[in-house]
Amino acid sequence: MKVVVVESPSKAKTINKYLGAGYEVLASFGHIRDLPAKDGSVDPDNDFKMLWEVDPKSQQRVNDIARALKGADTLILATDPDREGEAISWHVLEALNEKHALKGQKVERVVFNAITKQSVTKAMKHPRAIDGALVDAYLARRALDYLVGFTLSPVLWRKLPGARSAGRVQSVALRLVCDRELEIEKFIAREYWSIVAKLKTPRNEEFEARLTGVDGTKVQRLDIGTGAQAEDIKQALEGAKFSVASVEAKPARRNPPPPFTTSTMQQEASRKLGFAPAITMRLAQRLYEGVEIGGETTGLITYMRTDGIDIAPEAIAELRTMIGKNYGKEYVPGSPRTYQNKSKNAQEAHEAVRPTSASRTPQEVAKYVDRDQARLYELIWNRAVASQMESAELERTTVDIVAKNGARTIDLRATGQVVKFDGFLTLYQEGQDEASDDEESKRLPAIRADLPGNPAVGDDPDHVEAKAALDHRPPGHEDEFLGIPNQGVAAGGELDSLAVGAADRVAGRRHPERHGARRRQFATGAREFAAL
């Protein structure tokens, strides 16, 4: 008999089905030991000795594992494949040793990146020892959490009534929010007006052109400073005759983005789906743990806490086969795509977030999960598939247009991309944090210069819409998702999931106030920032 320990009871139930007779799978329900919230739990003067405590509920879990080991020859620690998972395995082993529950049983550590029968059974064939380096990293982090939080928080509570708490990472996250607010307060808004003409080609394809000049004088972004100026130009445009003066097109290739890491998944889920980081992680956890499909519980995505952007070779092969079958051979690159993480702090312990099977389409999965889970799965599936598709072939195009109305001459410019071959764009395009002044990423219809008697754009007033818009653009408020990668760097390169937790704690303790996907600090947060 072999005893297998995982974190959650749902995972234990699934893995028990995969392994069958000869295995008993038990759940630790997460960490079983922690530092008690009292003085002396970490002793810096005694080589940072740490005193651990097992709470009553966790003690029952330890007793259950010890009881199961009496008839077993092997203990298999199969917690999550990251630092916290390694720490949980270490804690379980330490607690069992303190109880003298191990009587010569073999101890093995196994990890799997997806909860599928194939991944689990393969992992069981490749056991290893507990990774001491990962455990040491956890111990250092936990000691600092205690020393910073337990030491600073009481000071804040005494000196600043109403303060919440301090923390090794959450205080850094609070500083990021407050620094951004200081930038916003210092910003002096300047009123200006932007003017856009909405035009159509002879094929009735719409595009936008922005004002660049009036009566031979170039117009910069802030030059139209009053509504009267804007209205004068708007009226001239509405009665103008338009012509294309020149078209400049440069060929370009656009490569697909890599598959998701934890932070890029959260950022994109916030942009496209409106999910806060904590919601994204909760949904991803459910997708990772799996659903019942065909009488068997199957994990739908790989492990969701990762900063890696590589994909297993067998998964790449499946993706390429699926792309060729569903989209055509022209959408499959000549060789598999590989990605390299540009972050110096990336640990890349395991794969990017991807579907466990490319053949399990979002339409199929939607039958087994709720709406939000289905939306997140579709985002993950699209991104992973797109990452192995052919590049888009584009023409970066600049179109200069002249509008004449009597003695008035108004210059306009449309910039963007003409798509010659859509490649991965047929499936996926990255979202943006905010409206951008960069027009080059916008798609343009194919536009040619005017020919005699054959204009390239219509001059019928129905084809023209000029608008004046008031634009104030101070620095944006710190986003819950925007702060994630910044926190990782500021805190010494912590994994994405830690920064996410800090962002959630800062938000949950009402340091910042949410405005849609944005947040602003409360006065309490600013006072705590100043005190720290």
**Beta-carbon count within 10 A of 48 CB:** 14
Rounded to the nearest 5°, which phi and psi values hold at 301? -135, 165
- Please report the pLDDT score of residue 46 as a whole number: 93
- Please report the pLDDT score of residue 344 as a whole number: 54
Residue 331 has pLDDT above 90, yes or no: yes
Q: Quick one: DSSP state of residue 479? A: B
298's tokens: 């199957």
Classified as helix, coil or strand, 392 is strand
CATH architecture of 2-137: 3-Layer(aba) Sandwich (3.40)
HSE at residue 518, side-chain half, CA atoms within 13 A, is 10
The residues annotated as belonging to the active site are 303
Residue of 293, 439, 313, 312 lying closest to 366 (CA atoms): 293
**DSSP symbols for 395-424:** EEEEEEEEEEETTEEEEEEEEEEEEEE-GG
- pLDDT 10s digits, 73-100: 999 999 999 999 999 999 999 999 999 9
- pLDDT 10s digits, 261-302: 999 999 999 999 999 999 999 999 999 999 988 888 899 999
Residue of 390, 416, 293, 412 lying closest to 333 (CA atoms): 390
2's tokens: 């072999």
- pLDDT 10s digits, 290-301: 998 888 889 999
Classified as helix, coil or strand, 429 is coil
**Which stretches of 72-203 are assigned E, i.e. beta strand?**
74-77, 106-109, 193-200
Residue 220 and residue 272: Cα distance in Å, rounded?
32
Q: In which band, very low, low, confident or very high, does the pLDDT at 408 lie, cut at 50, 70 and 90?
A: very high
- Please report the pLDDT score of residue 482 as a whole number: 46
- Please report the pLDDT score of residue 524 as a whole number: 57
**Which stretches of 90-240 are assigned E, i.e. beta strand?**
106-109, 193-200, 206-214, 217-218
- pLDDT 10s digits, 419-476: 999 999 999 988 765 544 555 567 888 887 765 555 656 555 444 555 555 455 556 5
Q: State in words which class domain 160-187+477-531 has.
A: mainly alpha
Residue 168 and residue 149: Cα distance in Å, rounded?
7
- Please report the pLDDT score of residue 154 as a whole number: 75
Residue 371 has pLDDT above 90, yes or no: yes
Residues pairing with 413 in the sheet: 210, 400
Residue 293's H or E segment, with its range, is: strand 291-293
- The number of helices, as runs of H, and strands, as runs of E, in the chain is 15, 19
Which of residues 363 and 521 earns the better pLDDT score? 363
End-to-end CA distance of the chain: 54
Q: Are 252 and 398 in contact (CB under 8 A)?
A: no
53's tokens: 């405590």
* Structural domain boundaries in the chain: 2-137, 160-187+477-531, 193-255+392-470, 262-386
Residue 49 and residue 337: Cα distance in Å, rounded?
47
Domain 262-386: assigned CATH number: 1.10.290.10
Q: Tokens 């100026």 appear where? A: 229
Residues 320-335, mean pLDDT to the nearest whole number: 97
Residue 519 has pLDDT above 80, yes or no: no
Which of residues 106 and 464 earns the better pLDDT score? 106
Q: In which band, very low, low, confident or very high, does the pLDDT at 194 lie, cut at 50, 70 and 90?
A: confident
CATH topology of domain 193-255+392-470: Topoisomerase I; domain 3 (2.70.20)
pTM of the model: 0.78
